[in-house]
Amino acid sequence: MKTNMSRWILCGYLVYLLLPLYWLVSMALRSNAEIAGEFSVLPASPTWLNFAEIFSNPVWYEAFANSLTYVGLNTLLSLSVAIPAAYVFSRYRFLGDKQLFFWLLTNRMAPPAVFLLPFFQLYSAIGLFDTPLAIALAHCLFTVPLAVWILEGFFSGVPTELDEMARLDGHSFLYFFFRVFLPINRGALGVTLFFCFMFSWVELLLARTLSGAATKPIAVVMTRTVSASGMDWGVLAAAGVLTVVPGILVVWFVRKDLVKGFALGRVS
Amino acid sequence: MLELVGAHLQTESQAEFDHQFAPGQITVVLGANQSGKTNLCRLVAGQNSRARGQVLLDGIDLKTVDPRKRPVSMVYQAFVNYPNLTVAQNIASPLLARRGQGMMDKKTVAARVDELAHKLQIHSLLSRLPHELSGGQQQRLAIARALAKQAPVLLLDEPLVNLDFKLREALEIELRELLRETNTIVIYTSSDPRDAFTLGDEVLLLAAGEKLQAGAPLDVYLRPQSLAAMQLMADPGVNKFERDSRICALRPEHLRTVTDTGIDMTFDMQVSAFETNGSESFVHGEVEGAQWVMRCDGMLRISPGQHLKIGASASDVVQF
């Protein structure tokens, strides 16, 4: 009886969570006429036309490509900067290390909007405006501190004796770092990648301001798609569905590491 | 021959000392916590620590040697192995690092791994990962990897302290056999005087970064130069008293009840505690205002609070 009860509650919660997602998918499979018409739970005549529109219209698929470009660039930049930084913070004591570490975090305390104006003006001045790199760099201001903080916690959990042992064994630092240290921190890298990707993927304000015609991100295109014939609900919904997909893919690929990572899995 | 010149192990102390470690000998470095044992190991291994001093191996200053080619291997107190490599890969790791320098082919490496795994009885675990091993097996692996390098100097920093009692004894006996075979300079740190007797050809006593005494364990035991040195070599501690304004000391195992023979001095003990494990007993109590311990064989019928006449042979008294 009791297990039945909790099962129902759990199912109810799941439905509550998935309902908006289902409605998005179901809208994406209907024509505009059907969306505006009678209420029905299932699409009466499912159609792929909305998706076909996105994959054939350059405005849509280029927006996806733009978004993926700067998000990928951001994730790559963040990780390649944060990994060495986190390693140094976890392994070395130097003048002002604690202050520097804390200062990194303070970057995250300001709302992104604060940086809109300086970024916009600066990028315009040096000709970086309307390039994927502009948005990726702007997002780095938030993702790098986050990545350093997450990684430092994990790296500090690895005993320094391991570094020393590798050196005594006669291994070069690069061998140790890439063949031992990074592989045993795979969970940490997965979690960090997830957070960087997600931040950059859903961030709208900076992306919208720093992008022009050439780099318009998908989220921006979605908020601006009003045609002469009114809102194209179906296509918009299909774009929404496709926007969710990369997030799901990232989670899928790092899911094993995520579980370890969120358990703050100290290396055993 | 490994030489320490002007070794300074502790920032808090001014002490500097020289010491020589002979090849083919196991030197047990005995000291309490914070006495500088680990710093001594780190100094020899060339790792960051507060220790300073010159380390000479056969007359060559090790500071001039590339850290990656330093002829030293080390086993840590914590069980440190490469977590992402199998047992076999772990043992092979120092060999492969040298293979890059063109010293060994694959077959030799495999044979060596096999040999070491057999010696340390982990040959049935070769394809496992370190976290799948028990603590004792993990430390066996760490020792195997340290031996694989065949460095002229082997450091073991309290390697068995994290293991439970039975495992420790078994591994200790094996270690003695393993280490005696080679012509290596072995430095083994410990806080347990028993290790000095079971393993050591030589013992080096450290206290607060200072070298108290060195020599063959039995010599140091019989002829301690200071009370601190005698304390370090005794488990439990020694019993102090004063005669003719000189400080004297007696070991717990040299005290006896007065019914025994061979006694030419007696003391009054107010018993405060009594512990036994069946084969030996320890009687704690107050003698002449100081806390004493007496060790006896077998069980004794003694209860706390009682007065006990105890005695010792005058020849066992150490005077300072």
Q: Which of residues B294 and A222 earns the better pLDDT score?
A: B294
The enclosing H or E element of B81 equals: none
pLDDT of residue B101: 58
Same domain, A119 and A189: yes
- A11 and A105, same domain (yes or no): no
Closest Cα of chain B to A86: distance in Å?
Answer: 20
Residue among B93, B133, B145 with most chain A CBs within 10 A, to mutate: B93
Is residue A267 a part of any domain in this protein?
Answer: no
Do residues A113 and A244 share a domain?
yes
Q: Which CATH class is domain B238-319?
A: mainly beta
pTM flag (> 0.90): no
Q: In the prediction, which pLDDT does A226 show?
A: 62
- B247: its two tokens: 């400080």
Asked if residue A52 belongs to a domain, the reply is no
| Cβ B313 vs Cβ B277: under 8 Å | no
pLDDT in tens, A35-86: 888 888 888 888 888 898 888 888 888 888 889 999 999 999 999 999 999 9
Quick one: closest CA in A to B66, which residue?
A170
Please identify, among A47, A66, A83, the residue that sits at the C-terminal boundary of a domain: A47
Q: Which positions in chain B touch A167 (Cβ < 8 Å)?
A: 67-68
Q: Give a yes or no: residue A217 inside a domain.
A: yes
Task: Please tell me if residue A222 touches chain B, with a CB cutoff of 8 Å.
Answer: no
Cα–Cα distance list, B112 to A120, B95, B153 (Å): 63, 9, 19
The reply to whether A243 falls in a domain is yes
B196 burial class (0-12, 13-18, 19+ CB within 10 angstroms)? buried
**C-beta of residue B79 within 8 angstroms of C-beta of residue B139:** yes
Cβ-nearest to A168 among B74, B78, B85:
B74
Are A177 and A152 part of one and the same domain?
Answer: yes
Assess if residue A36 is contained within a domain: yes
Considering the domain architecture, whether residues A15 and A139 belong to the same structural domain is answered as no
Please tell me the distance in Å from A39's CA to the nearest CA on chain B. 56
The hierarchical CATH code for the domain B2-228 is 3.40.50.300
| Residue range(s) defining the domain that contains residue A15 | 1-47
Do A154 and A97 lie in a common domain?
A: yes
Query: Do A76 and A38 share a structural domain?
Result: no
Q: What's the CATH code of the domain at A129?
A: 1.10.3720.10
Question: Which residues in chain A (44-73) have CB-CB distances under 8 A to chain B?
Answer: none
Query: Which residues have C-beta within 8 Å of that of residue B65, sequence separation ≥ 6?
Result: B71
User: Average pLDDT by consecutive 10-residue portion of chain B (320 residues)?
Assistant: 86 84 90 87 86 88 84 90 91 81 75 88 90 89 90 90 82 83 87 87 88 89 88 85 84 80 81 86 87 85 83 84
Which residue of A158, A163, A165, A260 is the best one to mutate when testing the B interface, meaning the one whose CB has the most B CBs within 10 A? A165
Identity of the residue numbered B143 = I
Q: For chain A, what is the mean pLDDT?
A: 86
Record the tokens describing residue A114, joined without a space: 């604060």
Same structural domain, A17 and A144: no
Nearest to B135, CA basis, from B159, B109, B100, B108: B159
- Whether the predicted pLDDT of A108 surpasses 80: no
In this structure, the answer to whether residues A89 and A4 fall within a common structural domain is no
Is there a contact between A167 and B67 if contact means CB atoms under 8 Å apart? Answer: yes
How far apart (Å, rounded) are the C-alpha atoms in residues A179 and B8? Answer: 36
* Residue A53 forms part of a structural domain: no
In the A/B pair of chains, how many CB contacts fall below 8 A? 51
Q: Tell whether A268 is covered by a domain.
A: no
Give the minimum alpha-carbon distance from A150 to chain B in angstroms, rounded to a whole number: 21
Residues A27 and A121 in one domain: no
**Which residues does chain A have within 8 Å of residue B94's beta carbon, measured at their own beta carbons?**
168-170
Mutation target for B interface from A91, A162, A168: give the one with most B CBs within 10 A: A168
Question: A221 in a domain, yes or no?
Answer: yes
Domain range annotation of chain B:
2-228, 238-319
- Would an 8 Å CB–CB cutoff place A165 in contact with chain B? yes
Give yes or no: residues A109 and A79 share one domain: yes
Q: What is the reported pLDDT for B109?
A: 86
